[in-house]
Amino acid sequence: MTDIIEEVVEEAVEPKKTDFYIKLSSEADLPTAFAAFYQQDYVTVVDEETSESTQTPEGEPYLVTHTHDYAIDLVGVIYEPTGNMLTDDEGNEYPETAPVDGWHVNVRLVGDARREDVEAIDVTYGVTPNSPSRVFL
């Protein structure tokens, strides 16, 4: 009986993934990949004669980077050391860096309200870095 209880407890304790690391080809892919997180503002116009109201888009759609349910961190291009050292005009040495392929975005979920949207992005663009360059605290 104790063995059965321990197995059930082990299965129930596994936490859901909350941090997602996304790698897009470029920043231009952001509106497509994160379409579910874009918002469009509208202006309501009321016709004075008919009292009918219509909504017209105002401005461009924009990415909503944070709510009570999630946070999106636009990391962008990540640079890593090449192993070479360079010297500046004052004689100081510093490591040479080169861009890592892709344009990077981190997402943290708080609860499950947007889990389906984020997991759909993760299936297509998700990566599992050995040592993430930037993380949520």
Residue 5 DSSP class: H
Domain that holds residue 78: 16-37+64-127
Sorted by sequence, the CB contacts under 8 Å of residue 68 that are 6+ apart come out as: 110
**16-59 confidence digits (pLDDT tens):** 999 999 999 999 999 999 999 999 999 998 988 898 999 999 99
**58-102 confidence digits (pLDDT tens):** 999 999 999 999 999 999 999 999 999 999 999 999 999 999 999
Predicted structure pTM score: 0.79
**92-127 confidence digits (pLDDT tens):** 999 999 999 999 999 999 999 999 999 999 999 999
Q: Is 72 exposed, middle or buried (0-12, 13-18, 19+ CB in 10 A)?
A: buried
Domain count, the chain: 1
77 located within any domain: yes
